[in-house]
Structure 1
Amino acid sequence: MTDETHDSTDEINTAAAKDETEEQVNAAKEKIEEQVIAAKEEIEEQVNAAKEEIEEQVNAAKGEIEEQKNAANEEVMPRPELQVGNREVITDFYVQKDITNQPVDYAFKIYVRLNAIKMTFRKVSFQHCVFDGCYFNNCVFDTCDFTGCRFIGCNLHQSSFPGCNFKYATFERCQIDDDILEREAPREENLKLRFARSLRMNFQQTGDAKAVNRAISQELDATSHYLKKSWSSSEKYYREKYPGWKKIPQLIKWIEFRALDMIWGNGENTLKLLRTIFFIHLLIAFFDTYNYHNPLDLKSYFDSFLASPGVFFGISIPKEYPTWFSSIIAATRLVGFAFLTAILVKRFGRR
């Protein structure tokens, strides 16, 4: 009986100890949970505070940048009449269908790497646009307006431009057919001159020697007409630009240009230089016959002409020739050789 009583007491004590331990464990858990919640709340508060501080710094930096931009704009544009332009930049697009009758939407843009193959652009205005690295292959630009456009590193191979306006347009490092020189050049001589000059420099950059020669011919022809009209034309443009005595310097420039054109084609015509040398031979023959032979004998002229190459090239100089005449022949020979060398260097230097 006594043993049974002791066993019951031990079980009661053990159960009480377990209950007490569970209460302590639960209390510890609740305390830890409270600490974790408090730590989370504290961390969230710190994160929010850090976010707010970062946002304040970002806003302050943005405000400082805006102030710097405004200050820069004020420095760049000291006058209230000026404002920043809104030219749109269109990059890496391709044309998927023909474009027709667009007088406004495609003007005043910057086109970068715009591509089009076998497309037709009809009555589209590209006024004052910049084409940078664009590719137009086998395209047709019909009655389009390229006034003031700038073409940089574009490929316009086999594209045609019937009826297009290229006033004030410039080209740099572009692949373009040289038939545009005659078909689409502006009518005004001053604009035609600048158009041909721009294409000449473009063809030099791309190494197209044949097109360079063709562009130079167009440029010289336009220059001749422009200089002549600058002193002789009654058109309004020339009257306002060269009034009164200002026509005299233009007349002198035109005479100089025409003289050099007759002598050696302004450095572009070997045949004209040979023609000038032939004329000099005739002068030598006439001088020799008139002063030292019978001026009435045609055979004397012929014999003097046959002897003139030796005199011109310095192989044989008659002793009876005066010093001044021999000096003129020597100077003419040196100048002729210089002109011929210049023509050959320019011709072969373009290849």
Structure 2
Amino acid sequence: MTNENSAAQLVSTENAAGSAPKVPRKELLPGNRTVITDLYIAGAITNERTDYAFKVYVRLNGRNQSMRKVSFQHSVFESCYFNNCTFDSCDFTGCRFVGCNFHQSAFTGCDFRYAIFERCQIDDDILQREAPREENLKMRFARTLRMNFQQMGDAKAVNKAISLELEATEGYLKKSWSSQENYYQKKYSGWKKVRQFLKWSDFKILDFIWGNGENILKLMRSIFLVHLLIALYDVCQFGNAWDLKSFAVSLAASPGVFFGIVNLHTYPVWISSVIAATRLVGFAFLTAILVKRFGRR
């Protein structure tokens, strides 16, 4: 009897292990999303706040149609095609667009908060016209579109998305330590403001030096300022600081000093070391900008 009971217990244990896990019935309930597949938009849709929200649209098609004040919030659009369609004051909050094509479609006054784009064909004018007002949401909106444009190989749109993302990031970091709005006061209280101020300061310094890796003109300006400092040091130490001609001679010789080609005077070791380090960092920044620019094409 003992062996039979053991065998029975073993069989029951194997059946339990091989069976599918039970789903809690009270904690997990069926959602309200409906999957809509292979349909097309036959007419204009206006002022719909409930019927088109919380859906999964698969291969939805529309051509030369207008949608005004329609709520698509928290819906998923997968492999959809909209040709020359107009979306006016539509709500796309929390929507996800995967592999969609918005050929010559236009958006006006739409809400794209928390929206995500993946492998979508969409015009880059959506960045400026439809970006959320809140800096943190605008930053995430620009980021998801930047990644989308990178997937599609649109280098020009990627640059626009990065510019908007940097602009929103600067505004968000500044407000995180200086704004009196309730959102920032609750999220960054006490010593957190100091940390956000340091992040903002670091962002502004890098933006001034080389535009956070996106502006080669700012890097050229920084290198020119280094030349001015070299000329100013040279004329103060070895010339007449009040003579413009002497300063002009030092400025003309500063490129040779910066690139390590010539030294008109013997500089202290620490000055030469600082110049060499600045030269190496400048070359590294320039290389990074060029690699990023050409790498997107």
- The DSSP-based 3-state class of the residue aligned with 2:106 is coil
Give 1:99's aligned residue. Answer: 45
Q: Is 1:335 matched with 2:285? A: no
- The DSSP-based 3-state class of the residue aligned with 1:187 is coil
Q: Could you tell me which amino acid in structure 2 is paired with residue 303 of structure 1?
A: V
Question: RMSD value over aligned CA atoms?
Answer: 1.3
Gaps of 5+ in 1: 1-63
Aligned partner of 1:118 among 60, 64, 80: 64
Could you tell me how far 1:87 is from its partner in structure 2? 1.2
Give 2:154's aligned residue. Answer: 208
Give 1:10's aligned residue. Answer: none
Aligned partner of 1:278 among 224, 239, 258: 224
Aligned partner of 2:91 among 129, 137, 145: 145
Q: Is 1:176 matched with 2:115? A: no
Distance in 2 (alpha carbons) for counterparts of 1:161 and 1:263: 36
* Aligned positions of 1:6-155 closer than 5 A: 71-74=21-24, 80-155=26-101
Distance in 2 (alpha carbons) for counterparts of 1:319 and 1:101: 77
Give 1:33's aligned residue. Answer: none
- The DSSP-based 3-state class of the residue aligned with 1:168 is coil
Give 2:236's aligned residue. Answer: 290
Count of aligned pairs between the two proteins: 280
Which runs of structure 1 show a deviation greater than 3 angstroms over 4 or more consecutive aligned residues?
Answer: none
Distance in 1 (alpha carbons) for counterparts of 2:235 and 2:22: 81
Distance in 2 (alpha carbons) for counterparts of 1:297 and 1:96: 79
Give 1:301's aligned residue. Answer: 247
Q: Could you tell me which amino acid in structure 2 is paired with residue 240 of structure 1?
A: K
Distance in 2 (alpha carbons) for counterparts of 1:340 and 1:278: 14
- The DSSP-based 3-state class of the residue aligned with 1:122 is strand
Could you tell me how far 1:341 is from its partner in structure 2? 0.4
Could you tell me how far 1:73 is from its partner in structure 2? 1.4
* Identity, % of aligned positions: 68
- The DSSP-based 3-state class of the residue aligned with 1:257 is helix
Distance in 1 (alpha carbons) for counterparts of 2:189 and 2:51: 41
Deviations 1:154-203 (A, max 9, x none): 00121111010000001000000000000000000000000000000000
Could you tell me how far 1:96 is from its partner in structure 2? 0.7
Q: Could you tell me which amino acid in structure 2 is paired with residue 181 of structure 1?
A: L
Give 2:4's aligned residue. Answer: none
Instruction: Give TM-score scaled by structure 2 length.
Output: 0.92
Q: Which has the higher contact order (CA 8 A, sep 6+)?
A: 2
Q: Could you tell me which amino acid in structure 2 is paired with residue 84 of structure 1?
A: P
Gaps of 5+ in 2: 1-14
- C-alpha spacing 1:319/1:299, structure 2 compared with 1 (3 Å): closer
Q: Could you tell me which amino acid in structure 2 is paired with residue 126 of structure 1?
A: F
Give 1:22's aligned residue. Answer: none
Q: Is 1:194 matched with 2:140? A: yes
Aligned partner of 2:182 among 232, 236, 242: 236
The question of whether the paired residues in 1 share the 8 Å contact of 2:32 and 2:54 is answered with no
Distance in 2 (alpha carbons) for counterparts of 1:137 and 1:237: 39
Q: Could you tell me which amino acid in structure 2 is paired with residue 298 of structure 1?
A: L
Distance in 1 (alpha carbons) for counterparts of 2:171 and 2:214: 17
Q: Could you tell me which amino acid in structure 2 is paired with residue 326 of structure 1?
A: S
Aligned partner of 2:206 among 260, 264, 280: 260
Distance in 1 (alpha carbons) for counterparts of 2:190 and 2:261: 52
Q: Could you tell me which amino acid in structure 2 is paired with residue 299 of structure 1?
A: K
Distance in 2 (alpha carbons) for counterparts of 1:324 and 1:249: 32
Which structure carries more helix by proportion?
1
Could you tell me how far 1:319 is from its partner in structure 2? 4.9
Deviations 1:118-154 (A, max 9, x none): 1000111000000000000100001100000000000
